[in-house]
Amino acid sequence: MSTQQQEPETVESPQDPEMKGAESPQQERLKEKRDRAAERPTDESELEGETVHIKVFRYDPEVEAKQEPRFDDFYVPFEKGMTVLDAVMYARDNYDSSLTFRHSCRQAVCGSDAFFVNGRQRLGCKTQISDLEQPVRIEPLPHQEVIKDLVVDMDHFYEQMHAVEPYFKQEDLPAGDLEEQRQSRENREKVKMSTRCIWCASCMSSCNIAAGDNQYLGPAAINKAYRFAMDEREDEEIKEHRLRILEQEHGVWRCQTQFSCTEVCPKDIPLTEHIQELKREAVKKNLKFW
C-alpha cells in the first residue's frame, strides 16, 4: 500500500465564473422543491396509515403561472391531536415549501393563523382535524385582499382597531406616586371577556356589513372600544369622546345584529351583546330630562 499522500482535489466555488455547469444556491433549492413535488403522494393509497386529505387555496400574483387561483391537494399522515395548522405545516415542510401562511405561537392566543376552514372562520392552531369533514378545505379569510396563498392584507383591519383609540386616557390620576388606579371586581368581570380579543379578524371577515361598508368600524374595533368605555377607571369626558366615535354613521348603528361575529369568535367573546350595550349607552347619553 502506498504511503504517498495524495494531493487534495480542488473544489471550485459555485460562484466561480470559470466553472461551467455549476448550479447556484437558488437553482439547487428549486431542484429540491421539484424533487419533493415529484415525490408527493397523489393518491391516499400511496401513504401508510391513516391520512388526512386537505385542499389548500393557492395564489401568487408575482408568479405568472400561479396568478390564477386554484386548490392544491395534499395527503397528510394523521396523528391524534392534529390541528389544521399542523396539517398545513406538514404540507409545507414535506411537499411544497412555497406554501405561504401566517402562524406564531400555536397556543391560540396570537390570532395570526385565522383561516376559512370548511366554510367557517377558524384558528388553525385551535381547530382539530378530527372534528372536520374531509376533504378539509382551507382558504384565506373572506372579504380581505389576498396577498399570497392563505395570507391576507391586515392593514385595513389594524386601521379600524386603532381608530377607536384603544388605550386609556386618564385625566385624574391618583395623588400619591405609588397609589393604584383601583378597579372593582364587579367592573373587572364586566369587561373581562372583551379583553380576550386576539386581533385575529375572524369576526370582521364574517360580518356582512363590514364586507359591504369599508368604513364600518367592525365588531373587533367596537369590542375594543367597549373594553375601555365600560372601564370605571376612565374619565366621564373621555368616555363621552369614545362614544362619539362609536355613534358615528359607520359605528355601532351599522350593526344589524346578525350574531355572525359572535358565532365565529375563537375566544367566545359576546361581541354582538357588547355592540348592543354601546348602542344603549349612546342613547342614554343623548337623552335629556327637563
Residues 239 and 264 in one domain: yes
Task: Answer yes or no: is pLDDT of 289 > 80.
Answer: no
In a domain, 10, yes or no: no
The pLDDT of residue 13 = 45
Quickly tell me which residue has 392544491 as its cell.
72
In a domain, 59, yes or no: yes
Residues 164 and 138 in one domain: no
Task: Answer yes or no: is pLDDT of 138 > 50.
Answer: yes
Residues 60 and 90 in one domain: yes
Q: Which of 233, 116, 254 has its CA nearest to residue 170?
A: 233
Residues 43 and 147 in one domain: yes
Q: Which of 224, 61, 207 has its CA nearest to residue 145?
A: 61
In a domain, 251, yes or no: yes
In a domain, 181, yes or no: no
Residues 128 and 205 in one domain: no
The pLDDT of residue 284 = 85
Q: Which of 85, 111, 103 has its CA nearest to residue 264?
A: 111
- Lowest mean pLDDT of 46-55, 96-105, 144-153, 171-180, name the range: 171-180
Boundary residue ending a domain (125, 152, 179): 152
Q: How confident is the model at residue 262 (pLDDT cuts 50, 70, 90)?
A: very high
Residues 159 and 137 in one domain: no
Q: Are strands 51-58 and 70-77 parallel, antiparallel or unpaired?
A: antiparallel
In a domain, 26, yes or no: no
The pLDDT of residue 237 = 87
The pLDDT of residue 71 = 96
CATH number at residue 106: 3.10.20.30
CA distance from start to end of the chain: 115
In a domain, 173, yes or no: no
- One-letter amino acid at 273 equals E
| Sequence-ordered list of residues with C-beta below 8 angstroms from that of 18, at least 6 positions apart, any chain | 12
49 vs 245: which has the higher pLDDT: 245
> Cα–chain-centroid distance for residue 48?
33
Domain count of the chain?
2
Quickly tell me which residue has 355601532 as its cell.
252
**Separation of alpha carbons 215 and 210, rounded Å:** 8
Residues 140 and 238 in one domain: no
Residues 135 and 159 in one domain: no
What DSSP line would sit under the chain, residue for residue? Answer: ---PPPPPPP---TT-TT-SSPPPHHHHHHHHHHHHHHHS-SSGGGSSS-EEEEEEEE--TTSGGG-S-EEEEEEEE--TT-BHHHHHHHHHHHT-TT------SSSS-S-TTEEEETTEEEETTT-BGGGSPSSEEEEPPTTS-EEETTEE--HHHHHHHHHT--S---SS--SSTT------HHHHHHHHGGGG-----HHHHH-HHHHH-TT---HHHHHHHHHHHT-TTS-HHHHHHHHHHHTSTTSGGG-----HHHHH-TT---HHHHHHHHHHHHHHHH----
Q: Find out whether 72 and 87 touch, Cβ atoms under 8 Å.
A: no
In a domain, 21, yes or no: no
**Separation of alpha carbons 81 and 128, rounded Å:** 7
Percentage of the chain lying above the pLDDT 70 cut: 82
Q: Which domain holds residue 240?
A: 155-168+187-286
Task: Answer yes or no: is pLDDT of 153 > 50.
Answer: yes
The pLDDT of residue 150 = 97
Question: Per the structure block, which three cell numbers stand in for 88?
Answer: 398545513
**Separation of alpha carbons 107 and 81, rounded Å:** 13
10 vs 241: which has the higher pLDDT: 241
Task: Answer yes or no: is pLDDT of 3 > 60.
Answer: no
Other CB atoms within 10 A of residue 144 CB: 19
CATH number at residue 236: 1.10.1060.10
Residues 271 and 198 in one domain: yes
Boundary residue ending a domain (128, 152, 176): 152
Task: Answer yes or no: is pLDDT of 66 > 50.
Answer: yes
The pLDDT of residue 32 = 72
Q: Find out whether 113 and 78 touch, Cβ atoms under 8 Å.
A: no
Q: Determine the length of the chain.
A: 290
Boundary residue ending a domain (152, 178, 206): 152
In a domain, 262, yes or no: yes
Q: How confident is the model at residue 178 (pLDDT cuts 50, 70, 90)?
A: low
Mean pLDDT taken over the chain: 86
Residues 136 and 200 in one domain: no
144 vs 47: which has the higher pLDDT: 144
Q: Which of 115, 168, 119, 170 has its CA nearest to residue 146?
A: 115
Residues 141 and 222 in one domain: no
178 vs 200: which has the higher pLDDT: 200
The pLDDT of residue 4 = 42
Residues 228 and 244 in one domain: yes
